Structure 1
Amino acid sequence: MNQVIKTAIAIVGTQKGLAQACGVSQAAVQKWLHNKAKVAPHNVASLVRATNGQIKAHQIRPDLPTLFPNPNKAA
């Protein structure tokens, strides 16, 4: 289970609510939660907004440090 997505769902309230905030289907959120799909880069910003910045972009896609650098790591 993806703990970052689980936390995002808890912040927003429901999978459906997170899906609506991100402009995706609830099924997409379910796939993110269960690691069956990664959050597409173009959906990262909406997920950050949906959580009022409590979830950071680099937490959602740590595998893409060039696109979503971790500000706490030295270059």
Structure 2
Amino acid sequence: MDTAPEPSSPLEEAITTAGGVGALAIRIGVAPSAPSMWKQRGRVPAEHCPAIERETGVRCERLRPDVAWDVLRRQEAASTAAADLVEPKAA
């Protein structure tokens, strides 16, 4: 049986899920060469992790375990809750 190789990193998993390097780049709005450069460097810039997570489901924590994503997620949740108090969402 011929099976696809397992992704070797979270970035590889995101690339595979997106449908390739070019597809990932388009989906997250970066230059087509950016994901390949990140692969070579072994590091995704933190500012691109949320878009990768949104588009592929690969969590920021896996892409960049060195970033305190839990702190950022709590801040985002608090900001969203505060904004909802000021301007409730339409039903």
Scaled by the length of structure 2, what TM-score is found? 0.61
- How far does residue 44 in structure 1 lie from its aligned partner after superposition? 1.0
Residue 56 of structure 1 is matched in structure 2 by 59
Q: In the alignment, which of 3, 10, 30 is matched to residue 9 of structure 2?
A: 3
Q: Please say which structure displays the higher CA radius of gyration.
A: 2
- 1:57 deviates by 0.9
List 4+ stretches of structure 1 deviating above 4 A: none
The aligned residue for residue 25 of structure 1 is 31
- What TM-score do you get using the length of structure 1 for normalisation? 0.73
Letter in 2 for 1:26: P
Which residue does the alignment assign to 2:52? 47
In 2: Cα distance, 1:37 partner to 1:27 partner: 14
The answer to which structure, 1 or 2, has the higher relative contact order (CA under 8 A, 6+ apart) is: 1
Identity, in percent, stands at 25
How far off its partner does 1:40 sit? 2.0
Deviation at 1:37, TM superposition (A): 5.8
Distance 1:4 1:50 in 2: 13
Q: Which amino acid aligns with 2:51?
A: S
What is the distance in 1 between the residues matched to 2:42 and 2:37?
A: 5
Structure ranking higher in helix proportion: 2
Q: Residue 43 of structure 2 aligns to which amino acid in structure 1?
A: K
Q: What secondary structure, in the 3-state scheme, does the structure 2 residue paired with 1:62 have?
A: coil
Unaligned 5+ segments in structure 1 are 70-75
